[in-house]
Amino acid sequence: MGLPVSVHRSDTKMRVGRYIAITVGASALLVSGVAPAAAGTLPTSGTAAGAASQAGHDQKQVPLRKVAPKGFAIGVAVAGGGHHLDQEYPDPFKYDEEYRGVLAKHFNSVTPENHLKWDFVHPERKKYNFGPADQIVKFAQSNGQKVRGHTLVWHSQNPDWLTKGKFSKKELRKILKEHIITVVGRYRGKIHQWDVANEIFDDNGKLRTNENIWLKNFGPEIIADAFRWAHQADPKAKLFLNDYGAEGINKRSDAYLKFMKELRKKGVPVHGFGVQGHLSLAYPFPGDMAKNLKRFSDAGFEVAVTEVDVRIPLNGGDATEAQLKTQADYYRRALEACLSVKSCNSFTLWGTTNKYSWVPVFFPDEGEATIFWDDFSPKPAYTALQEALAKARRR
């Protein structure tokens, strides 16, 4: 997610499924979830009822994935975990049939929003909770969708056992290596891109050594190791750095470009950079976004836009027609920036509706940041994306 957050929940909410044993090196671990071959208690595709309900909203609504250029990933975050556990609604992916229909109909790529973050997937030292992520991956496979993995190294949403534990540096390093090998290895060949390290630089282009447990203890070399371990676990996966506030050319994006070049010189398998795209109408659109993406591409890196939403200042009211028009323009410009750069082949929306969005939880005066209304009917932003994709397809 785009900004530093701390999400708390009881362990009982995370302990789902049954435990199975796996081995990492010489260590036997208990993994929560179902064995991969048995996963699938949820429908694995958009159901007829969900698709019919979607079609009822707009008979002329052509799915985004159908108008996207060949090979271009138009993706979405799958709601669940994190702040969703504290909301009144049940798990959207598990219980909302129409929601699953939207995921299957409109997108050819999905990202588990919270299901692969440390506090959700690794709630206890020797236990992993893979069940929900397994279901999302199987859903994606059944619907011809790619999967982006998010995230392996981050300063936020880490479990208390990790952040409050009394570990030596040797133990911490072993913990991180085991986590990466275990998580990436489980989805080897099934997740095509990983956000290996997330939000490691601040606004001034300085490493977050005070906030990030890994950087605080090991410095930047631990990021290099994380990439090496991820590559070891899945040699074919594309490995990314990812951050917010780096859409344009600034101190943060400068720092990433320099750091990535340094990693590459050391032989570290770093493949790409993801700009999150958490935007707001309270601020101007980053007009140099295309130029910024291009300089990473020119340096030989892939680029992706990974977590797009556009917040609207509401101040207790509803979004106005003018605001929705401006929001649509932000979405269009962000997508066109990506489409203008050859190595940018992935554009992911961070949610579908306001109801299931993280924005109202963390930005009380803003909202309606997504491209669908709560009944899944399209906003002007949907049409803007549809038109931009169709235009690029015709080139």
- Which structural domains are found in the chain, ordered by start? 11-393 (3.20.20.80)
Q: Which residues pair with 56 in a beta bridge?
A: none
Q: CA-based diameter of the chain, in Å?
A: 60
Q: How far is CA 214 from CA 202, 262, 335, in A?
A: 15, 19, 33
pLDDT at 255 over 90: yes
How does DSSP classify residue 300?
T
Given a cut of 90, whether residue 345 has pLDDT beyond it is yes
Task: Provide CB contacts within 8 A for 114, sequence distance 6+.
Answer: 1, 7, 80, 81, 82, 84, 120, 157
Q: What's the whole-number average pLDDT of the chain?
A: 89
Return the higher-pLDDT residue of 52 and 250: 250
CA angle at 306 for the pair 210 and 58, rounded to the nearest 5°: 140
pLDDT in tens, 285-333: 999 999 999 999 999 999 999 999 999 999 889 999 999 999 999 999 9
Could you tell me the two tokens for 328? 């649509």
Q: Would you state the pLDDT for residue 9?
A: 28
Residues serving a catalytic function are: 199, 307
**pLDDT for the residue numbered 143:** 99
Please answer whether residues 122 and 153 qualify as being in contact, where contact means their C-beta atoms are separated by less than 8 angstroms: no
* pLDDT tens-digit readout, 204-243: 999 999 999 999 999 999 999 999 999 999 999 999 999 9
pTM exceeds 0.95 for this model: no
Q: What angle, 0 to 180 degrees and rounded to 10, lies between the N-to-C axes of helices 169-186 and 221-233?
A: 30
